[in-house]
Structure 1
């Protein structure tokens, strides 16, 4: 299938849910958490049981940071489902391509190969920067990921750079940004719609559940009998976490996108504020 047909098929898959995902901002329900973290806090939460939504600054743009790795891996897995990419395909890399914060590549940079599956796992579970850049080769670079999102109906999120350049966080710069609404919409599509095969969706959910970078963020605010799958992102002055929250007893999940930018406090206060948002969201929906 050529790329234009591939993108058209994705757009068609999204047509059935677009009407149910129209977002309208509510009053600011997380002012206390925003003040606690000393920054600009954007939140969108959707209860997939009934479609109810809570938002603050849901339409405002925030730096993607490493949350871009979620749509990146979704793009790769879609190509796997289409038969144009194999999970066991080897991707070669040079020592000079290994970036800072690449825990899956060991302490000493050296050339080698990793499979597509290994790169996807590293990008989601460990937020590995080198793995993400190598996967971007498969998607046609940042423009390819942006095109994938456009085909899914996301007219907002844009990826313009690779790691580490995408992590700059200049206020007002729209490059490499998203909105909480857009990311909550993507998470909703991921859970509800057949944009990935059952096998690819199960694989991605498992990687998200095993992610180890967000222990002090959303995960810290969720009851122990819930299951969390999340993807974090961090810049010099911000921190993000986007997650699917599965309650016990096979009930419908909640999706939650939290973006915190222009933070003037400590990393600990920022993360505590993100956890506090998660702690408040669940009883708002599940009284």
Structure 2
């Protein structure tokens, strides 16, 4: 009886989960129709296994989603001793681009620390701070190399902000797929890509 009971519970749970996935997909398709847009979503567990998704393998412009992996690369450099979080990054007015609130605020001092720039890039989506970090790591190509290093064969960065956010259908520059980015984030947070201290900080 216990075995039969367990099977019944498993069947009910599976049906409920399948129903939730169907609702998830239906809701997204409805939203796409309302907004006349395509929406990509990927939800994975800590191991990177798919939980749910929609258009998971379709390429989309990365926009600001790459700023988290960029910060991860910066923290990897700190972990390896090739970078210091308190190092001052000097810059001038030319680093101020569209949406650079923290970069503008620190302009009077002429610098931000590595950690301040990383915080501004991730928490504020600050484009100036993002470009400052890209300058230090070696540019967009270095970001793409980091994606490959941690097992992401899809994501690519080709330009800086704000140009990289301009994307037309069929343009592969500065794109990723929902499943690739979701697994990259899971790798950073749960896959041992960083030390425990850096993982906790990021």
1:128 aligns with 2:117: no
- Relative to its length, the structure with more strand (as a share) is 1
Aligned to 2:33: 35
Quick one: structure 1 residues 172 and 200, their matched pair in 2 at CA, closer, same or farther if it must change by over 3 Å?
A: same
- 2:97 counterpart (92, 96, 99): 99
For structure 2, which runs of at least 5 residues remain unmatched after alignment? 1-20
Question: In the TM superposition, what are the counterparts of 1:73-112 in structure 2 within 5 Å?
Answer: 73-106=71-104, 110=108, 112=110
Question: 1:70 deviation in Å?
Answer: 1.0
Quick one: structure 1 residues 107 and 118, their matched pair in 2 at CA, closer, same or farther if it must change by over 3 Å?
A: closer
Aligned to 1:175: 173
Distance 2:86 2:34 in 1: 46
Question: In the TM superposition, what are the counterparts of 1:177-196 in structure 2 within 5 Å?
Answer: 177-196=175-194
Structure of higher CA gyration radius: 2
Question: In the TM superposition, what are the counterparts of 1:1-287 in structure 2 within 5 Å?
Answer: 29=25, 30-48=28-46, 51-106=49-104, 110=108, 112-204=110-202
Q: TM-score, normalised by structure 2?
A: 0.82
Quick one: structure 1 residues 80 and 67, their matched pair in 2 at CA, closer, same or farther if it must change by over 3 Å?
A: same
Aligned to 1:281: none
Aligned to 2:13: none
Render the CA deviation track for 1:200-224: whole Å, top value 9, x for unaligned.
11111xxxxxxxxxxxxxxxxxxxx
Q: TM-score, normalised by structure 1?
A: 0.59
Render the CA deviation track for 1:164-219: whole Å, top value 9, x for unaligned.
11011211100000000101111221232110111111111xxxxxxxxxxxxxxx
Aligned residues: 179
Distance 1:169 1:56 in 2: 20
Q: Indicate conservation of the 8 Å contact 1:95/1:111, yes or no.
A: no
- Relative to its length, the structure with more helix (as a share) is 2
Distance 1:76 1:107 in 2: 22
Question: 1:40 deviation in Å?
Answer: 0.7
